[in-house]
């Protein structure tokens, strides 16, 4: 069983631990886009774990839960549209569990209902493609703020 605590708010006061590196899991079926996200995160000092689809993502999360604490993800960045299991399907599968993990949903679709549904399922935020590395790193930092406050 995955444990998932959806964030209540992202705009929390800064903490001293905010600049510490995190483990960020990135799930996107577009190899080039996933590589760009990973490169930006690693340039920001974070470790990454990569998944190509929602099913692989859930398998990696389950393995990480039983693994060493320094390899457990703090933040998950998942694309909405992926084969085998969508990003929203991942959120539904995680619903009601106790994983201390902030989720950021990424989409190329301009559909407010997707944004609303993702947040209702517990996503900390929704990023619309394309976005810059600075926006990505800010969202990851804000997710860290929430995790440290809980």
Count the residues in the chain: 150
Question: Would you list the domain boundaries of the chain?
Answer: 29-149
**For residues 57 and 27, is the Cβ–Cβ distance under 8 A?**
yes
Mean pLDDT of 72-78: 93
Residue 17's pLDDT band (cuts 50, 70, 90): low
Q: What is the mean pLDDT of the chain?
A: 84
pLDDT reported for residue 54: 94
Q: What is the DSSP string of 30-69?
A: -HHHHHHHHHHHHHTT-EEEEESSHHHHHHHHHHHHHS-G
CB 54 within 8 A of CB 62: no
Contact 4, 25 (CB under 8 A): no
State percent of the chain over pLDDT 90: 57
What superfamily in CATH does domain 29-149 come from? Answer: Response regulator (3.40.50.2300)
pTM here is: 0.84
């Amino acid at each position: 069983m995955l444990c998932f605590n959806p964030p209540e708010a992202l705009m929390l006061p800064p903490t001293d631990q905010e600049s510490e590196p995190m483990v960020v899991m990135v799930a996107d079926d577009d190899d080039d886009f996933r590589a760009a996200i990973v490169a930006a995160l690693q340039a920001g000092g974070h470790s990454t774990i990569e998944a190509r689809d929602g099913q692989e993502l859930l398998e990696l999360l389950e393995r990480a839960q039983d693994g060493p604490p320094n390899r457990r993800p703090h933040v998950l960045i998942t694309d909405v549209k992926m084969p085998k299991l969508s990003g929203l399907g991942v959120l539904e599968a995680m619903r009601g569990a106790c994983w201390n993990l902030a989720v950021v949903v990424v989409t190329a679709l301009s559909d407010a209902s997707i944004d609303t549904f993702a947040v209702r399922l517990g996503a900390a935020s929704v990023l619309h493609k394309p976005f810059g590395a600075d926006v990505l790193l800010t969202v990851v930092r804000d997710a860290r703020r929430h995790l440290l406050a809980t």
